[in-house]
Every structure is written in C-alpha cells, then in structure tokens.
Structure 1
Amino acid sequence: MAVNKDQAAIHRAVGNLVYLSWYGDLGGGELRLLDHIQGTKFPHKDITVVLGENGSLVNRVQAFGCSVLVSGWHGSASGITGLLARRLGRWRLDRLFRTIKNTSSLKSIVVCNTYPDLNTGGRLAVRRGLTVIWRARADTFVPWGIKLEQRQELVRFLNENVFRVAATTRYEAEAMLEAGVNPTLVEVIPNGIPLNTYNTAQDRGQDLRAHLNISQEALVIAFVARMVPQKGYEVFLRAVAKVRGRVPQIKVIIAGDTTLYHDGEPYKKDIYRLVEQLGLAESVHFLGFMNDIPAVMTAADLFVHASLKEPFGTVLVEAMAASRPVIAADLPGPREIVLEGQTGLFHQAGSDQELALAIEQLALDRDLRIRLGKAGYKRAATYFDANHNLAILDNLCLEAIAAGR
C-alpha cells in the first residue's frame, strides 16, 4: 500500500481521517490501526488519532507525523473523578469534531476501532454530521458480546447512520445480518499482517534463542497473548506440565503482559506462582511485552493458542506467517484461520488435557510440524496479507469521502 502519487494531488483528492481508539496501549486492534496508518493514502498530516486513554500508542502514532488527542474518555477512575474525566473527554472530542466540521475545507471520515469508540465518539461524530465507519472487532454480536437490548438499538443506529461496517470475520458478519444489520453496510475484512517482516526474521529468532540460552535440540513452544484470564494462560501451562514428562526437552517462551488490563498485576503474580507450583520455572521464559513478534515466532518450533474466547486470533496468522505449525482453541475466530490437519490442530477451549495431547503429537513428529508450517504460510500469504486487506479498508474510507457523506 505504498503511496506512489504526488502528495499534493492526494491532498486534493482525499480528506481528513479521524481514528478513534478506546485504548492507549498496544493490543491486536491497535497494531492493526498502526498498520493502516502506515499504508494509507491519506496524508499523515491530515490524520488525527483520538485515544480514550494515555499510553504507548501516543508515541507510535506521532512517529508517523499524525496528530494525537488523548480525550481521557476511557478513564479507569471511579466515582466523581471518573465521571468528570469522562465528561471532559466527551467535551474534547466534541470540540474536535466541531472544529473539523466548521473550519476544514476537506471532507472527513471517522473510523471507530472498537465498539466503545462507536458507542461514544461515533455517536458524537454522527451528531456533528461526520461520516462514520465502524471497524468491528468481532466481539460485539457474538454470544459473549453486548446484551440483546443493546444489540437491537445498535442495529438501528448502524442502519440509519453508519456508512460501512468492516467485520473481522464471516462469523461476526453473519451474526450482524441475523440481528438485522443492512447487508449493504457489511464487508468482511480480516485482520492482516505485514508478511515481509516475517520473511526476514529467522536470524532474529535464532538470536533470541541464543540470548535465552536455549539449545538447538530443545523444542520451543511460543505463547503470545495479553496476560488476561480469557487468553488461557492457566490452561496452557497445565498442558505443558502434563507433556513435559514425555517430552523433557520442551522450552516455553511467553510474550505478553498486562497491557490494556487495569487489574493485571494480581493476575500476573498468580501466573508466575502457577509456574512455580507446576515445576516449570526452568522451562518457561517470560519475555514481557515484545515489539518483535516475528522474532518470537521464528525462535519457536510451534505455536499454541489457548484462549477461552476469541473473536479472531491474529497471533495465529503471525505464527503461520513464520511457517510455524499452530495449535488453536476450537472457537469461531480461529476456525476462519486454521485448517484442521492442514495448517494446524485444534483443541477444545479450556481443556488442558486435549491441548496436552495436541502438543505431544506435534512435539514428537517433526515432519508433521514442517508440513503444517509450510501450508500455514501459504494460507497466511493468500488470505491475511496486511497490504491487501488494509487496502480494502482504505478504499472504504476513500469511497465514503467520494460519496460526500
């Protein structure tokens, strides 16, 4: 998606892009936001990213030359302090929309990166006459998503006010249509990843193994996830403990921290304590938050996903892009990524016993690991290339500008 036109011409043809992100730290959705900004046809000086809270995303966005507004709408404070912070955040965002509407000569598009963004800033944008696209994260119309009465009201709002809904999965899109969302509004755009960053990561992966003093004979399992209960840390660690007696050369590298989880420190302590209780202290390496996920994936021999609920599962695509076989929880999101027996294996979500059996199967069969890894890379390159998928989203934004909405 490299911009290959004269910037002045693009400026005349495009407009203002406002991106709303409820979270200020880096999760999967926030990384996709950065990917879109990096490759968009909108000039970076005409992009404003509004964050609901302060965090590491601020510097990452500013590095592109984009404007950043921290509204403070998504505050973790409770009581009167939290109420005042949210009111101030709403006022800041409304002032931004009024300024754009009243002073800019360019047309504007507002992209909401989450349901909370749509439900707060998206509604404000509609009131100010701005065009809205919702980049749904596949966590709203699913069984564990919003309540039925909220869903019914959301359907009315979408049908009457939103230009397009970009669904992450077919599963989510079908749930939207079943709930009554106008089919002409919905387009499936899976999360993609920049494949080129994985093609060049092999040496960095080997460097990471060396840094951790992991021998070439060891079988390394990667686990990449925010350190929150829904990601299944306990399930994964108990499965490893079950397998270790039969596959003693197993080593585990875990990339992830309590990012976006305000009550994360007690949970992190519980996970560290569980590692000790299971006798895995010598086998598990906690890396914390990692920017270089390609290095983590290429350092491993296989990747495990153990989430208890999962709207998509971008980490599975990342592992496949590194030509690594995957073991995934059998959930709607992963089913749209992994092909059972072709690019990876499934296990029942929440079952450490089933996960242990799958780990053992791949750990003891190198040829199977290689075959699944090669097929996984082909699937990632065909269906989950960020350049292709984000170009579709960018074109939706340009279409909205051209339509004069």
Structure 2
Amino acid sequence: MKILHIVQCYHPVVGGSEWLVKNISEQLVTNHQDEVTVFTAAATKPAYFWRNEGAPMPIGTEQINGVTVRRFKLFRRLRLLRMLWAHSFHRLQLPYNDWARTVQLGPLIFNMPRAIANSGADVVFATAFPFMHMYYAVAGARRANIPVVLLGAIHTADKWGYDRKMIFSAIQKADAYIAHTEYEKKYLIDRGISGNKISIIGGGVDIQKFEEAEGTTIRQKYSLGNDLVIVAMSRQSELKRLDSLVQAMPRVWDKYPQARLLMAGAKTAYSAQLDSMIAKFSPAQQAQIIQIHNFPEAEKPQILAAADIFVHPSGNESFGIVFVEAWATGKPVIGANIGAVASLIEEGQDGLLFEYGNAASLAEAMLVLLSSKDKRQVMGQKGQQKVLENYSWEHVSDQLRAVYEQVVAR
C-alpha cells in the first residue's frame, strides 16, 4: 500500500503526534512493506509556526528508517497581524473566528494541498488538530479522490484550540476518523459526527523499554532509598494542574512524612507559581520534593519505574499516553475523573480517579494506594497487562492499517 502521512512536525522533532507518526510509519514499512511518505513542516517545533521559538529545518526530501520524509517551506510573515486578527475575532465572536485562529496557528504551507493531490497515495492520514495541515489533507485528498483518515487528538477542555466548527466539518468530510478514547468518540457523536466512521485506537509505547526498567538508578541518584515515591511527569504548564498535587502533599505527609514527590518535566512560565507554593512548606517538607526539569527520553522508563504510584492531575488530555507508559512499568496510576482520562483508567482495577482540581480528593486517592503494597502491585500488573494487549506499536499500527484497508476498499 502507498501511504501518505501528514503531521505538523516529524522526527527528530519531539512531541506526541511526531512520535506516533514516526513509530506507525516505521512499523508499516517494516511489518507490511508499505511505501510510506511523510509530509511535514520544515521546523524544529510547532511554536515556530507562529512565534520566534524554534528554528527552520532544511527544506526537501530525505529517508529516515525506510520512510520518505518531505519537509515543506513555511510562510511565517504577518505573524503579529494574524495574532491580532485571531484574538479580536474570537473575543468578539465574529464570523469565521475559527478560521482566524487556525490561520494564526499555522502551519501555512500553500503548496501542500497540491502536493497531496499529486502524491499518488492510496490513502492519506493526518494528525493532529487544530493545525492547518489537517485541512490541507482533506482538501488535497478530496481533489484527487484519495480516501483520507484523520486523527484529531482533540483536547476537549481546550475551548480556544478545539471548539471550532471547521474541525467538525473536516471530520464530516473525512472517510474515517481515529478517536483515542470512547470519551472522544462520544464527544464527536454529540456534535453530529456519525459513529460509524469513528474507530477507537489508543497511542503506542515501546513496551520492552518500560518493562525492563527497574528504577534503581533513579532511586540511587536522588537518594530515595526505600521511601514511598510519588512520580508526576509532565510539562509544568497550568493546564496540567500540578498545583493540586503540590497542595495535596501536606495531607500525605501527615500520614507518611517520609513520602517523596518526584516531579519530572520541562519548566514553563507557570513553574514560578509552583515554586512559590513549594516555598511555603517547611524546609523538611521542601526537601521531600525533587524536580527534574531536563532529562533524556531514554531516562523516562527509569523515572517511572522508580515510583510506587504515578499521578497525573491534568484534565486537558486527548488520551494520556503517560498513563500507558506508567502501566508499562507495572505501576498503578491516579488520574482526574474527567474527560478522556476517566475513560482510559478502569477505576479500582488499574488505577484510581479523583475529583479534578480537588487536592483533598487527590490526597485521599494517594493515601489509599500508599497504604497497601498489595493493592499497588495488583493494579500495576493489571495496567501492564492492558498495555500488552492494546498499546504496543505493532498492535496500534495494525489497527490503523485495518482502517486504511477499509477506506481504500470502499
């Protein structure tokens, strides 16, 4: 099969969609001998589309692990004007404010629809909203009568980014849509999308790397010893709600004063607020919190394996791949009882849910797991089995290829 994948950026750029497309593309080449091409922007990160963050990459075509990768030149002019247009149209709720927001975000690659139409592909797949290339994929594929499959990775809590009529219109025009969770599928059905065109396929992980991780090196490196360790792993953005985790810790320390909190993730402008919250704790409590801001991707499995429990308090997730990664190391998880997260975690089976944004509820869930090693072990094992059955890259790519076969055969 001749397959065209379209994504905002591609390896070596780091990101959820970038990682998903890289792994699926390489799996299809290796396991099915498919001819896979990736169209993407010539940028080191998506933020380069609309502001001076990141840098350009060489324009042109290259081969990466058997995948043909074509990077397109970006139009980056009028960025200030585009931003003012988007924000003013949205604030005043003017007609086409969703288009204004999308043009502001980009990537603006004016020759991409024609390139898609001329690609000769049997099927086109694109991810993720709210970027402009999703509409290029639909326009180019329809121009050449090529079936198109979309994976939106919709963050339903982000109204600015995803509450756009044009997103639902594009999904209506697509031949098939991939939802990460049952929650996302229901969200789209409620907005007029036919359930018949929606398949549920989660994200994938390199299971072996996580299964083999022991966490010993991390415990030694940060002098964690045999203390109970709570791990959180995410960028320190406001949307991830790490504030509720920090606020929950005093209740945990009341019962387990030696419990350690390890927060791993890149700093953002919001980090100063988290640091201010932590600074209000006693010196002894502050010493129980460890922050790791820069760590190589290869160290992620070891960090997760060092945990007794994994906590991710975010309510702004399209899937929650970090839960899958924690399960792959055999750890029980705690997530917010909201959105996609609530449909991913099986309450009481492979993890616990807490009331989103409620520090007392989160503390209660953590105490339940910290108090029982047996419960932690059973939930961690069930989570790991779920990953083995549903979230290997081979399984995910095979599921997606089955969707490709269906739309091509119509």
TM-score computed with the length of structure 1 as normaliser? 0.79
Given residue 268 of structure 1, which amino acid in structure 2 is its aligned partner?
S
* Residue deviations 1:366-396 (CA, integer Å, cap 9, x gap): 2221122122222222333332122211332
**Which of 20, 23, 27 does residue 15 from structure 2 map onto?**
27
**Which of 77, 80, 97 does residue 78 from structure 1 map onto?**
80
Relative to structure 1, the CA distance from residue 95 to residue 184 in structure 2 (aligned partners, 3 Å threshold; closer, same or farther) is same
Secondary structure of 1:179's aligned partner: coil
- Which moves more between the two structures, 124-133 or 308-317? 124-133
Contact 2:116 2:141 survives alignment (8 Å) = no
1:301 aligns to 2:308 (yes or no) = yes
Relative to structure 1, the CA distance from residue 30 to residue 240 in structure 2 (aligned partners, 3 Å threshold; closer, same or farther) is farther
Task: Give the count of matched residue pairs.
Answer: 373
Which residue does the alignment assign to 1:261? none
Contact 1:71 1:89 survives alignment (8 Å) = no
For 1:349 and 1:244, how far apart are their aligned partners in 2? 21
Contact 1:236 1:306 survives alignment (8 Å) = yes
Which residue does the alignment assign to 1:283? 288
The offset of 1:268, in angstroms, is 1.9
Which residue does the alignment assign to 2:333? 326
1:38 aligns to 2:48 (yes or no) = no
- Which moves more between the two structures, 275-284 or 357-366? 275-284
Relative to structure 1, the CA distance from residue 239 to residue 189 in structure 2 (aligned partners, 3 Å threshold; closer, same or farther) is same
Matches within 5 A, 1:6-405: 14-21=1-8, 26-41=14-29, 46-51=36-41, 53-55=43-45, 63-64=64-65, 66-69=68-71, 71-72=73-74, 77-79=79-81, 93-99=109-115, 101-102=117-118, 104=119, 106-107=121-122, 109-117=124-132, 119-126=134-141, 128-129=143-144, 130-140=146-156, 144=159, 150-151=164-165, 153-159=166-172, 161-202=173-214, 205-215=215-225, 217-258=226-267, 264=268, 266-279=269-282, 280-290=285-295, 291-292=297-298, 293-401=300-408
Contact 1:312 1:332 survives alignment (8 Å) = no
Given residue 69 of structure 1, which amino acid in structure 2 is its aligned partner?
R
For 2:34 and 2:84, how far apart are their aligned partners in 1? 32
Identity %: 20
Consecutive unaligned residues of structure 1, counting only runs of 5 or more, are 1-13, 259-263
TM-score computed with the length of structure 2 as normaliser? 0.78
For 1:131 and 1:82, how far apart are their aligned partners in 2? 36
- Which moves more between the two structures, 178-187 or 50-59? 50-59
Consecutive unaligned residues of structure 2, counting only runs of 5 or more, are 46-53, 86-102
Contact 1:238 1:278 survives alignment (8 Å) = no
For 1:324 and 1:76, how far apart are their aligned partners in 2? 48
Relative to structure 1, the CA distance from residue 109 to residue 43 in structure 2 (aligned partners, 3 Å threshold; closer, same or farther) is farther
Higher relative contact order, chain-length normalized (CA < 8 Å, sep 6+) = 1
Contact 1:327 1:344 survives alignment (8 Å) = yes
